[in-house]
Structure 1
């Protein structure tokens, strides 16, 4: 059950648990959230060794919810026992990558999250703004890093080529990124991130985070959110995979999480959205199966995974376009 020793935060090296708590779900976009769930989920995450929490000003009141929980839990889990990952540049009203807004955003996030520093700050969804905008925002973040306000600077986004290009620009400018966050590119229907591991490392990106092994709620038994960019044909393929797993006494979400965990040696952590404590426990159980080499160890699981891959074959490594998900 031990995902981390919850040691004091080491400023030189990220010692995050292999599972990170994705707090975007607190926005209510993926499914309704009961009032008591966030506190229960975060508490259970701490109990099971999860020590990293990912959020953003864009995720409605996710930062405020997390901050209020950290205040409640501070006697048992002080700030030195966990990492905070948040973002700048994307907000409910617009994108604003200006240095002034970046600095203000960091201060706002610190206030909301009840902290005087942030472990990781990403430029959020870099594909929707110009490279020059990203460059200016990153310069400001690195200045804040020098001041000790931020420990690690990175970028997040969907198109891998965009993440790689910006990483190359930063490397050429002798200010390489510390970390990148990719989502929905290391899951049952898309493993393209795996082919980029060495490319990012060659540009001195030391930490790669994989987010959303459930592909933003696509790989689950209930229907994905209405806003999900997956086309009808992909949704139908997933629905067939869901039924196949269920008919064999298995759960598509647990299979998807186990599949993504198979790449853990190349990842600093995997961000999974947790609506409630039960979901935390299910993911940790999947992680423990991996630790015991029990993932896809039964003939039934192996057979179902093979059949799911056949169902998904027309959609393997297909990515939706930028216009589909903004």
Structure 2
């Protein structure tokens, strides 16, 4: 099913930060943020077992159970099993993303993209979310950043396991859509080249942002458009560095990125543009983009995101970004720019 037709709006809510990414978030703060999203009209919520070893799913489920199931769209992910036994979060092997959820639950996690693990993961997520069904399921993180040189082997396990299970569940009407949820373009390019199974869309995090979009524009997005496969844009603020944070790619931002952000911020200030508006509207300007799902841990961030979508951005701002080499010439710009 087309994600554009399926999604209830162009702004969703990504729950990765609510898995205690980077810091321990009080329960009342997490719930207040989720309720702020709901009260201001957001009806698409994305989560994953990986986010705090199930913590984000549990928190999201607590809020969503207060509402009729048909009133929102829900996506989660497969590829990791959360176990009852404990382990030290600091000792987890997360590839390039070490320590990402060290403040989350201490439950042991294992990577597994097989058919049986996919079915188990879905059942476990349904329990944590306290719901009877999922709308979209993404195959999570089958890419170099988490699996290094083993990523192609993991991809092959997913192709013969998770992909086929999700394809069957979609065809049976158990779920509405499936695809990949990754931080790299190569796994999606491989998937789009397959004869079968066929995904409905993909969640691409961090690869179609103001700071990083050139590689996605080269092959991935043209292939997706040709096949009618939509994109949900995750991580539009590049792990927070675009909006005043210190992280890029979930790690401390390197000097080159900090300088790039400084340049973009300076131009935005000169044109009276908020960075959130520039980031969200840029990510949504591509024809393949069905929605964008920034995360948040404070209620005030929701109204900021919504206001950012309505903000008018002068064409001169985009012209200067291009002239400075900060935007790829092939990148579509927001309407009117």
Q: TM-score, normalised by structure 1?
A: 0.78
Residue 14 of structure 2 corresponds to which residue in structure 1? 22
Partners of 1:84 and 1:252 lie apart in 2 by: 28
CA contact (8 A) 1:237 1:311 kept: no
Structure 1 residues 159, 46: closer, same or farther in 2, change over 3 A? same
Q: 1:104 aligns with which of 109, 114, 120?
A: 120
Q: Could you say what secondary structure the match of 2:247 adopts?
A: coil
SS at match of 2:279: helix
Judging changes above 3 Å, is the alpha-carbon distance between structure 1 residues 280 and 41 closer, same or farther for their aligned structure 2 residues? same
Q: Counterpart in 2 of 1:320?
A: none
> Moved runs in structure 1, 4+ residues, more than 6 A?
none
> Which deviations, in whole Å up to 9, do the C-alpha atoms of 1:186-243 show, x marking residues without a partner?
21122233453331133352x2111111112121213227942753322333245446
Q: How does 1:308-319 map to 2 (within 5 A)?
A: 313=326
Query: Which blocks of at least 5 consecutive residues in structure 1 are unaligned?
Result: 1-9, 318-326
CA distance in 2, matches of 1:31, 1:18: 28
Range that drifts further, 214-223 or 224-233: 224-233
Q: Which residue of 1 aligns with 2:313?
A: 295
In the TM superposition, residue 254 of structure 1 has moved relative to its aligned partner by 3.7
Instruction: State the match for 1:149 in structure 2.
Output: 174
| Match for residue 82 of structure 1 among 46, 58, 72 | 72
1:59 aligned to 2:51?
A: yes
Is 1:238 aligned with 2:261?
yes
Q: What is the alpha-carbon distance in structure 1 between the residues aligned to residue 193 and residue 249 of structure 2? A: 35
- Per-residue deviation at 1:124? 0.3
How far off its partner does 1:154 sit?
Answer: 0.7
1:36 is paired with a residue whose SS is: helix
Whether 1:197 and 2:189 are equivalent positions in the alignment is no
* Counterparts of 2:3 and 2:248, CA distance in 1: 38
Distance 1:260 1:165 in 2: 23
d(CA) in 1 for partners of 2:228, 2:250: 35
| Shift in Å, 1:253 | 3.4
Q: Which runs of 5+ in 2 are unaligned?
A: 82-107, 330-337
Distance 2:307 2:179 in 1: 30
For 2:299, the equivalent position in structure 1 comes to 277
| Comparing 47-56 and 89-98, the one that deviates more | 89-98
Distance in 2 between residues matched to 1:238 and 1:48, nearest whole Å: 29
State the match for 1:268 in structure 2: 290
Question: For residues 93 and 134 of structure 1, what CA distance do their matches in structure 2 show?
Answer: 17
In structure 2, C-alpha distance between the alignment counterparts of 1:234 and 1:224, rounded to whole Å? 10
Post-superposition Cα deviations, 1:38-97, rounded to whole Å, max 9, x if no partner, equal: 3222222223321110110000110000011112x32xxx11011111100035633111
Measure the CA separation in 2 of the matches of 1:236 and 1:126.
31
Aligned-CA RMSD value: 3.0
Moved more, 269-278 or 123-132: 123-132
| Shift in CA distance, 202/255, structure 1 to aligned 2, threshold 3 Å | closer
Aligned with 1:112: secondary structure? helix
Distance 2:200 2:166 in 1: 11
TM-score, normalization: structure 2? 0.75
Distance 2:249 2:232 in 1: 26
Instruction: Name the CA shift for 1:251/1:64 in 2 (closer, same or farther; >3 Å).
Output: same
CA contact (8 A) 1:117 1:148 kept: no
State the match for 1:6 in structure 2: none
Q: 1:32 to 1:307 in 2, by over 3 A?
A: farther
Looking at structure 1, the residues matched to 190 and 50 of structure 2 have their Cα atoms a distance apart, in angstroms, of: 24
- Partner Cα separation in structure 2 for residue 274 and residue 224 of structure 1: 14
